[in-house]
Each structure stands twice: as structure tokens, then as C-alpha cells.
Structure 1
């Protein structure tokens, strides 16, 4: 779901130009920004003689709005788990039966019968990760595994903190921090979270999807962030480290599906099956720096990625993790009111 996936503006890009003038077909992919490996697209194009266009978006919500508006021309969408039921309930996804595709046998068992798509009738797994806190340890010497970095920041971080504009992730972390559970209806907890957010905002520099460069150059020193994006930044500035708040953190998965009104259905099905090949899943992980759900992909993954601390949930923190889900509509309305107040 994530920074690498969200920081780019929604622009159409044509990936890989070394194609025959007359391709066997086309495929139009709608994905988060900086989330589609160019080498993967080139390989697919050359394997199937298909011309691929990738258009980028910055959030699940903006992508959904675009699809609901119609007339988009996309074949493939990459929604996070929590929003997949909304796509299905609104008849926006094709029941393409990935569970009957030849490479489905490679999907790890724990990612087959998932809550958002029981038995995988609509989606295939893309990558999975966690939402935590990234901080510059050259500036901050305290506990990494605390959301206090964001919500009760020490003086050395004030004015150089970013919060990603991802409403549910930020609110869930804040609610966990003040002692509640995600999607709570407890008004006292929700008010406490609201007040904590408003208090903390005075210490933040931005609510944004900033460029990696702002962290690498240390214009920003802390953020609510995603583990894969944190790994990419640490590769450029080893002072940065990633922590998972003991009070609670999110685990998520992004998925790939065919849109109900896709024009290039057979090519889209080829792409879903292609993603479940271990070598191709490894290409996605190596580029995005997130884990995947495909058996055998580890053999082709970057050894440094397999050892990356960002991809490991410490045993003593596993109980603090919870999978991201959509809140009921009445709770989502409260979230929206809090978020509107925070972002004024």
C-alpha cells in the first residue's frame, strides 16, 4: 500500500519502449506511484508481445474515485486489502478466478483464504508490509518502537516530523497510542485521539507524501512510514531506522485485480498469472522492498532484502500488530471528521 506507492503524482507513463510497432495487444495498469518495477513490465511485454501503459495514483481513495467515475480505460487495479470489499460490493472488479490459474499453486497458504477475498476469486497478492515509525537515529537516540516519536515528540525532532496523509493509518496509530483499538466506537477514546493529534500537529513539519530526498538530506527526520520505503531510504542514509509501536501497528497487503469494465481481459489474466511466478514476485519485492506471498520467490530475492530489519516483525512485538481492515461506515464518518479537523 505505501510511500513508494504514494509519493508520485497521478501521471501516465509508458514503460519499456523497445517493442515491435505492432504488439499483440495492450494492457493498462493503474497502480500506486513508484510501485511497478520497470524490468517486470519489460519482461511481460517481451514475453507476451503486449504493450503496457502504467498510470499512477497516490492513494486508495483517489483510485477508487477515479474508477467509480467511469471512462478510465484501465484493465488492472492494485487495491489494499481493506478497500477490496468496497470494490467487490460496488461491482467494480471482475470475478477472474485467479484460484484457477496455473501459478496459483505458488501462493502461500496463509494468503489464500483471506478475509477480503475468500478463496481468491478476484485478487492475487502483490506485496505485504507494515506501517510504523521511521526516524533518524543520528538525531534521536530513544526507543524506536514507540509512536511517541510522532505524538509526543522530543525537542530534537520537533519541526522535522512528517505524517503521511493516509487517514486510517494515522488515526489507527493514534487511537492505539491513547489506549484504544482500531475502528473503536468509544467516544472518549476517539476524543482523546483527536486531542492528541491536534496537540502533536504543532510539532510536525508536514502532512505529506514527501520525496525520499527530504529524508536522505535530513530536511525531515521522522515520519509515520512503511517498512519497504524505510528500507529504501536507509540504503541511502544509514542513519534512518524503522520501528513498530508497542501500542499497536498495522499489517497490510496490496492486491492485484482486473476491473469489471476492462477492455483487455485476456492480457490482464496473463498478468495476474505472471505475478504469481516466483521469479516475477521476487522482481516486485526487490524493487518495492516489501515482502511477497509467493512460495519459492526467496531464492530470487536480494539477500540484503531478506535480511533487512524492516521486513522482520520482532517476536516480542507480534502481538501488537493487527491487520488493516475497513471500519464500519458510522466509524469511518467519525474518522473523516477528525481527519478534516486535523488537516485544516
Structure 2
């Protein structure tokens, strides 16, 4: 079991971050996995991502990138470490393009040592002087096809997760940060314990932990304590299943009482969210979401708290009771999602 020893300065040094291209890497690995299932139990091969990936499978770009996924020691430069919540896919691609050729060649060599032979055209591409820019082009193209159409919704899920975790971290310390993060994680005697890892002790020494929520890693957990990454725990974000679901289930009685849009928002506010985040995951205009939230707030069903430049909404105990009670009063009514995955709204790349 891996034991990550936490010192007195590590809580303040810890933070949350996103890693866009690393998210793409998780998705590609899941698409490679035979029999992989989604968080809601369906087959990944039947998902919209599998359909997007099908024309790319077996191409030179696909085989080149897959050669790095067959080894435990990856080429770090094609998956830049996270730096914060403001990181964009373009930032990651720019970092990849800035990699010195000498460093890229060394990492490629080490990564391929454990893969066995690669196709001749893959080997020829990896030997080119412009290999760094070619790999950046490949990742950018894969991103645009596979992830960019859903990035606004994915980002909203990650930010809602971070809001929830950060509140627990501030309120309860390390025990709150680790609780419910993943079944293989627990807090004990001043250390974060990671199950299913070789026996080892890591001393943070004031570096803290970077927590990275991800949608496509489910149900796994990733821990990275080697350079160039900061001490990092990558975990499945709360609400990840929403990205895989074609529908949102709302109790029929609640929809009749409040109207479908307000009922939809009340159900989604089981996890706190801002107006912008709710607009992204529902496909409603920001102004319309604000109007509905104002009504729900006046009715005492939700409350809002200013956090920086945003107002974060969450259900009140009355709202919880109404949402839960409505499910007992009537059979569930299924509403089409207004997000990209429901087909009604067309959200462009972030």
C-alpha cells in the first residue's frame, strides 16, 4: 500500500486542477479496452465517442499514439502536468509543441523500450526531426474530434466536483478531502493511504497534493508521484455519469408542479453549481437559468452564495425534501437533456 505522508504545510499547498490532454489519454485508453463499460453500465463501444473514433482507428496517427499507451512508462511531454483550473486544451498543446527535441527523443526511446516492435511507418514518423510538432498535431486533431464537442459539459462537471471537494477540504481538512474520493483512498494517522499500490512511503514536504477530477478515468484511480508531475491524485469526478446519459430523470409530479425546466434544475442541484455551469449542462440560455433560479430561490428551494465572481447555488433542506418527495409521489418522467449529448443543443468547443 502506498503511504503519502502529509506535513503541516501540505494542506495549504494542495489545490485542484484540470489536465485536458490527460483527459483525452484516458478516453483513448478506454476506447482501446475490450469490454469497457461506462459509469452507467453501458458498453463504451456503443457510445458516441466510439462512433467518433471509428474512422480514426488504425490510422497512422492512431497507431503512433497507441504505441505510447502500451507501456507503463509514458512519454511525459505529450501529457503535460496540470497547473490549475484555468488550463485550456490550447495551453496543453502549446506546452507539447515547446518540448525540446532532445528531451522528446529520450522520452520516446524510453517509452518504446517496453512496447516491442512498432510498425515501420510509425518508427519512421517517430524518427523525424519534426516529431514533436507531428505528435502535437495528432493530439490536437484527436481532441477536436473526440472531446471538443463535449468539453463545455465536461468542464462544468469537473468544476462542480471541485467546488464540492474544496468545501470539504476547507471545512474538514484532509479527512474531508479524501473521504468519498475513491474506494482505494483513505486517511489514517497523518497519511493518505492508496490501496492496490506497491508498499512505498512518499513524503510531500510542503508540496501538497494536486487533485485532478476526470470524467473518462472511471472507475479507476491514478496517482503520480514522479517528476515532472507534482504529487497528483487523479480521480473520477462526481457526476461523471451525466456525460454518458442521454436523458435526465425528473419525477413527473415535480415537473407538473414547477415546470420541466425548473424541475430539471432543482434535480441537478443535488450538487452545487453556478448559473454558467447549469447553462452548459442543460443547454438553456444563461439568462433563462438565472430566471428559473430566482423563482426557485424565492420559493425557498435553493440558496445562492457568492464565490469570487460567481454565485453558487445549492438546494436547501426544503428543496431536498421536495425533490425527494416528488419521486415518491409519482412514477419518474424522463426528460431529454438539452446538452450536446441529448442532441437538442449544439455546444461548440471551449
Tell me the TM-score normalized by structure 2: 0.26
Greater helix proportion: 2
Larger Rg: 2
